[in-house]
Amino acid sequence: MKLSTLASLLSLEFLGKDKEISRLNTLANALEDELSYLDHSRYLDVLKSTKAGAVLISKEHTNALPGGCSALVTPTPHLSMAYASAYFATPLASTTGEPARVDPCAQIFPHVYIGKGAVIEADVTIMAGAYIGDNAYIGEGSIIHPNAVIYSGSQLGKRCHILANAVIGADGFGYAHTAQGEHIKIYHTGTVVLEDDVEIGACTTVDRAVFGTTRIKRGTKIDNLVQIAHNCELGEGCIIVSQTGISGSTTLGRNVIMGGQSATSGHLKIGDFATIAARGGVTKSLEGGKTYGGFPLVLQKDWLKLQAKISKFFNTNKENK
Amino acid sequence: MKLSTLASLLSLEFLGKDKEISRLNTLANALEDELSYLDHSRYLDVLKSTKAGAVLISKEHTNALPGGCSALVTPTPHLSMAYASAYFATPLASTTGEPARVDPCAQIFPHVYIGKGAVIEADVTIMAGAYIGDNAYIGEGSIIHPNAVIYSGSQLGKRCHILANAVIGADGFGYAHTAQGEHIKIYHTGTVVLEDDVEIGACTTVDRAVFGTTRIKRGTKIDNLVQIAHNCELGEGCIIVSQTGISGSTTLGRNVIMGGQSATSGHLKIGDFATIAARGGVTKSLEGGKTYGGFPLVLQKDWLKLQAKISKFFNTNKENK
Amino acid sequence: MKLSTLASLLSLEFLGKDKEISRLNTLANALEDELSYLDHSRYLDVLKSTKAGAVLISKEHTNALPGGCSALVTPTPHLSMAYASAYFATPLASTTGEPARVDPCAQIFPHVYIGKGAVIEADVTIMAGAYIGDNAYIGEGSIIHPNAVIYSGSQLGKRCHILANAVIGADGFGYAHTAQGEHIKIYHTGTVVLEDDVEIGACTTVDRAVFGTTRIKRGTKIDNLVQIAHNCELGEGCIIVSQTGISGSTTLGRNVIMGGQSATSGHLKIGDFATIAARGGVTKSLEGGKTYGGFPLVLQKDWLKLQAKISKFFNTNKENK
């Protein structure tokens, strides 16, 4: 879409050279055909070196734009980005375009939907009722179980197992907010990559990235009813037990273990070989190689000690009875 | 069904005038063609002004019935209501009746089921494998994602997004209990209403009301793997993060935020603009405009202080080591 | 498969008589045509009386094998069992074999998949998009709701209700681990049995046993988004509220109640008529007839007292402010 057209659709002032915009991206990653946004002055440094073709930006910061970078001027760049995202959203399912390429050695059961441009490699099994979105890639030997949903553009490696009713690549939970308290959907134009030998439990959800990629690395195993939010990255060989929730943009190293019903906040880094006990609630980045538990989270052995002390103190201290 | 027929099916004594009964309802809301029940003497006041055509009631309370109100006499009115509910249950899916009305500007993908009497408005997209029950209404511009299930009678406003494998309108978790510890299913004859611009995440469940309506108001956004129980009401513009559970008949005001893995008990009221931090467990009704956290729930800032104090006290107090 | 063939596939030394092996099982339950494994010396006693046809065993323990029991010698019996399990896995879905037997009084909606050898009894309703795996058995009067998935071999009693998008009989979350931190899938060759009058909520998952049976007894009711792991046994008339997680091999007695978002560790026993309050986290076996809560779990009344004491102490003790 022409930048001038977008400016007109969003009723925004447009500064600089007109150009073709293909998609949205972050300031750090955007290229010449991409639109980005500056939603806080703390990113002015990043703005200086952005390669974005254009930026949604407030009037006061337009002088900080690098040469050749056009601007859409808006008092609310994040909100304008949300409105803009609707114009760049991946179509949910096309009725036109290249047909899917299904290897003759793949086994496709009845009632399966395979979108345009999808690729199904050899020895893949797509069980009944499964959904494979447009341009999804299902690597050799993978099994998509009944009624699982793989949204468009998701990329699965070899020998992945996606259990029944799991959902890979739904839009993440991201909104911009108006002054009136309305939530404007940010269409997620990123994707999900599952590397080889990843297993995803029944009714587990792995959201696509807002931009870029939600990535689950080789050999990671995820149990049932787990939530992996947009832009997470899980290292190789992680074990994520049932009903755990990992918030957006959090990164796990390799062989991280998260016990049942544990959770993390967003934008954290958890080091290699860290273990989170069941119910542990992670709100800060963690060094690897240790076992943590509790909420607030501490070392698991300290949590056990603390609970024992609390119990002892209050059950033996008369004044407090 | 004739009241006399129902009495005979349930083997209950029948007092008063025979009449046609169309459904069950609460004492407060029941009309002349509806059957209600009195399961505790604290509702005798409500009984006095009920407009119900008939009431399931214990012998001792029959003298409190308003004039013209018939009775089915039972030592266990709640249990009898559960047995009766089976006779008034909405059929799961009819094979007869009016065909669905699908707007020519709606897009229906393969393997979709659309029940009798359903209405699909213009610019709706029903993606592959989705299920639209009898008499469901899908408002203009809404998108039902792959394999999502919209049970019969559910009403969706305009521009709703129901993500993959979400379930709208399943029966709530309600049972009456026999003296022998058996649980007798209460068929839920109420419905679900999602107003305009509501979004429901993947694998999220929103149960239908036992009677009346589970309602999610305009612009509320719900993340993945959330449970909304029967008869809840969520105000406009709420944000409900992943793996949260809201118990039956709880009411949220407008723009309430519930963080990940938070929860509420049933029959509570949470005020406008309240925020519940991640993992917060609400067991009492809450004033709006404040941020709460912890379990037991307190103000979030007090929870943070309390946890800091606990940590400091037990880690510095030798006697407790 | 011949034991000698399996030895060759796994590159293991083979001792004793060659024989036909049909499946894997525990030392205690294995029969002459079954292969078991000894993964710790604490099970040497069980080994002595095993009826297994052969055992995966480390060199040092081969002298403890009972007469007539063959051996596959391996330094890592549990890991070798995982590799072996792939050869005995139930096929996901056969395209050959006996057709399903569907009672003429069953009602089968469109887009349903029914596997080979499945049995659908009278008055069963299979709603649109549901999946019934090979050799599954659906007892009289049961209802399989839209897009629910019943994996191969699952056995459902009479009048069971499986709500939309629930998953019965997916493989449990079980892996053996290599020295390099890779997780090798243990194919689960056990099954799931739901007895009469069991109800399973929307998006709830009940995993099949690794060997033997995950069993939910008569009249137990399970809410939405619950996880029941492999080899659990739930007694009659239990009530399991939404978002609860029960870990592998845990046994509940009859009429156990588990509140919302509660959980148990694995391999526990919870006595008859025990109640776990919402959010309760069970890490030890529990006597029946009592109400527990908190995490660490105590009697619910003690948890309430403890929380009150904590609050009082830290809010009135100046030194700790």
Q: Is residue B52 domain-shared with residue B135, that is, in the same domain?
A: no
Using a CB-CB cut-off of 8 Å, the residues of chain C touching B203 are 165, 203, 225
User: Rounded CA gap, B8 and B186, in Å?
Assistant: 19
User: Rounded CA gap, C249 and C272, in Å?
Assistant: 17
C318 pLDDT above the threshold of 60: no
Nearest CA in chain A to B221: A183
Token pair for C280? 């309760």
Residue A102's contacts (CB-CB under 8 Å, 6 or more residues apart) are A108, A114, A120
- Domain presence at residue C316: no
Using a CB-CB cut-off of 8 Å, the residues of chain C touching A254 are 181
- Residue in A111, A243, A278 closest to C113 by CB: A111
Strand bridging mode A70-73 / A13-15: antiparallel
**Do A70 and A14 form a contact (C-beta atoms < 8 A)?**
yes
Q: Which of B309, B310, B312, B315 to mutate to test the interface with C (most CBs of C within 10 A)?
A: B309
**B72-130: pLDDT as tens digits:** 999 999 999 999 999 999 888 998 889 999 999 999 999 999 999 999 999 999 999 99
pLDDT of residue B321: 43
**Is C188 noted as a catalytic residue in this protein?**
no
CB contact under 8 A, A225 and B225: yes
- Residue in B113, B229, B313 closest to C129 by CB: B113
Q: Which of A225, A236, A257, A297 to mutate to test the interface with C (most CBs of C within 10 A)?
A: A225
Residue B123 one-letter amino acid = D
Q: Is residue A67 domain-shared with residue A146, that is, in the same domain?
A: no
* DSSP three-state, residue B62: helix
CB contact under 8 A, A237 and C181: yes
- Domain presence at residue A154: yes
- State the nearest Cα–Cα gap between B257 and chain C, in angstroms: 19
* DSSP three-state, residue B114: strand
HEC string for chain C: CEHHHHHHHHCCEEECCCCECCEECCCCCCCCCEEEECCCHHHHHHHHCCCCCEEEECHHHHHHCCCCCEEEECCCHHHHHHHHHHHHCCCCCCCCCCCCEECCCCEECCCCEECCCCEECCCCEECCCCEECCCCEECCCCEECCCCEECCCCEECCCCEECCCCEEEECCCCEEECCCCCEEECCCCCEEEECCCCEECCCCEEECCCCCEEEECCCCEECCCCEECCCCEECCCCEECCCCEECCCCEECCCCEECCCCEECCCCEECCCCEECCCCEECCCECCCCEEECCCCEEHHHHHHHHHHHHHHHHHCHHHC
- Whether A129 and chain B come into contact, CB under 8 Å, resolves to yes
- Whether A195 and chain C come into contact, CB under 8 Å, resolves to no
**Do C219 and B182 form a contact (C-beta atoms < 8 A)?**
yes
Q: Is residue C54 domain-shared with residue C199, that is, in the same domain?
A: no
- Whether C185 and chain A come into contact, CB under 8 Å, resolves to yes
**B194-239: pLDDT as tens digits:** 999 999 999 999 999 999 999 999 999 999 999 999 999 999 999 9
ipTM of the complex: 0.96
Q: How confident is the model at residue B318 (pLDDT cuts 50, 70, 90)?
A: low
Q: Provide the β-strand partners of residue C55.
A: C36, C71
Using a CB-CB cut-off of 8 Å, the residues of chain B touching C239 are 175, 183
Strand bridging mode A251-252 / C125-126: unpaired
- Whether C159 and chain B come into contact, CB under 8 Å, resolves to no
Query: How large is the average pLDDT for residues C39-63?
Result: 95
Rg over CA atoms, chain B: 23
Q: Is residue C188 domain-shared with residue C289, that is, in the same domain?
A: yes
HEC string for B170-212: ECCCCEEECCCCCEEECCCCCEEEECCCCEECCCCEEECCCCC
- Domain presence at residue B314: no
Query: How large is the average pLDDT for residues C72-87?
Result: 97
Place of tokens 């004033």: B287
pLDDT of residue B90: 84
- State the nearest Cα–Cα gap between C129 and chain B, in angstroms: 7
- State the nearest Cα–Cα gap between A85 and chain B, in angstroms: 16
- State the nearest Cα–Cα gap between B284 and chain A, in angstroms: 22
- Residue in A149, A185, A296 closest to B146 by CB: A149
Q: Is residue A163 domain-shared with residue A292, that is, in the same domain?
A: yes
- Residue in C170, C185, C227 closest to A243 by CB: C227
Q: Starting at the edge strand that comes first in sequence, how are the strands of the sheet with A137-138 ordered?
A: A101-102, A119-120, A137-138, A155-156, A191-194, A213-216, A233-234, A251-252, A269-270
- Whether A295 and chain B come into contact, CB under 8 Å, resolves to yes
- Domain presence at residue C308: no
Q: Is residue C142 domain-shared with residue C290, that is, in the same domain?
A: yes
Using a CB-CB cut-off of 8 Å, the residues of chain B touching C203 are 165, 167, 203-205, 225
Cα atoms in the 13 Å half-sphere on the side-chain side of A24: 26
Cα atoms in the 13 Å half-sphere on the side-chain side of B90: 23
Q: Is residue B141 domain-shared with residue B211, that is, in the same domain?
A: yes
User: Rounded CA gap, B176 and C209, in Å?
Assistant: 31
**Do C31 and C52 form a contact (C-beta atoms < 8 A)?**
yes
- Whether A278 and chain B come into contact, CB under 8 Å, resolves to no
Of the residues C88, C103, C124, the one at which a domain ends:
C88
Annotated catalytic residue, options A61, A78, A230, A267? A230
Residue B319 buriedness (CB in 10 A; 0-12 / 13-18 / 19+): exposed
Q: Is residue A49 domain-shared with residue A119, that is, in the same domain?
A: no
- Residue in B127, B201, B202 closest to A92 by CB: B127
pLDDT of residue C317: 58
CB contact under 8 A, C260 and B243: no
Using a CB-CB cut-off of 8 Å, the residues of chain C touching A158 are none
> Given a contact as 3+ CB pairs under 8 Å, which chains touch B?
A, C
Q: Is residue C162 domain-shared with residue C256, that is, in the same domain?
A: yes
Using a CB-CB cut-off of 8 Å, the residues of chain B touching A127 are none
Q: Is residue C178 domain-shared with residue C139, that is, in the same domain?
A: yes
- Residue in A109, A125, A261 closest to C113 by CB: A109
| The total number of structural domains that make up chain C | 2
Q: Is residue C200 domain-shared with residue C154, that is, in the same domain?
A: yes
Question: For chain C, how long is the longest CA-to-CA vector?
Answer: 77
What pTM value is reported for the model?
0.97
Place of tokens 């995966």: C56
CB contact under 8 A, C313 and A307: no
| Residues 20-79 of chain A whose Cβ lies under 8 A from any Cβ of chain B | none
- Domain presence at residue B35: yes
**B258-294: pLDDT as tens digits:** 999 999 999 999 999 999 999 999 999 999 999 999 9
> C209 or C318, which is more confident?
C209
> Given a contact as 3+ CB pairs under 8 Å, which chains touch C?
A, B
- Residue in C131, C227, C313 closest to A147 by CB: C131
**A65-86: pLDDT as tens digits:** 999 999 999 999 999 999 999 9
- Domain presence at residue A319: no
Query: What's the Cα-to-Cα distance from B210 to each of B23, B54, B79, C229, rounded to whole Å?
Result: 11, 18, 14, 30
- Whether A312 and chain B come into contact, CB under 8 Å, resolves to yes
User: Rounded CA gap, C216 and C192, in Å?
Assistant: 8
B320 pLDDT above the threshold of 50: no
Query: How large is the average pLDDT for residues C12-30?
Result: 96
pLDDT of residue B317: 58
Nearest CA in chain B to C159: B185
- Domain presence at residue B177: yes
CB contact under 8 A, C312 and A320: yes
- Whether C110 and chain B come into contact, CB under 8 Å, resolves to yes
pLDDT profile of chain A (321 residues), mean per 10: 96 96 95 96 95 97 95 97 94 90 98 98 98 98 98 98 98 96 96 98 98 97 98 98 98 98 98 98 98 98 96 74 43
Q: State the CATH number of the domain containing residue B271.
A: 2.160.10.10
Q: Which of B163, B167, B228, B304 to mutate to test the interface with C (most CBs of C within 10 A)?
A: B167
What domain range includes position C290?
111-300
CB contact under 8 A, C167 and A202: yes
**A208-228: pLDDT as tens digits:** 999 999 999 999 999 999 999
- Residue in A143, A199, A315 closest to C92 by CB: A143
Nearest CA in chain A to C282: A278
Using a CB-CB cut-off of 8 Å, the residues of chain B touching A227 are 223-225, 242-243, 260
- Domain presence at residue C294: yes
Q: State the CATH number of the domain containing residue C8.
A: 3.40.1390.10
- State the nearest Cα–Cα gap between C318 and chain B, in angstroms: 11
Q: Is residue A142 domain-shared with residue A182, that is, in the same domain?
A: yes
Please tell me chain A's helix, strand, coil percentages from 3-state DSSP, rounded to the nearest 5: 15, 30, 55
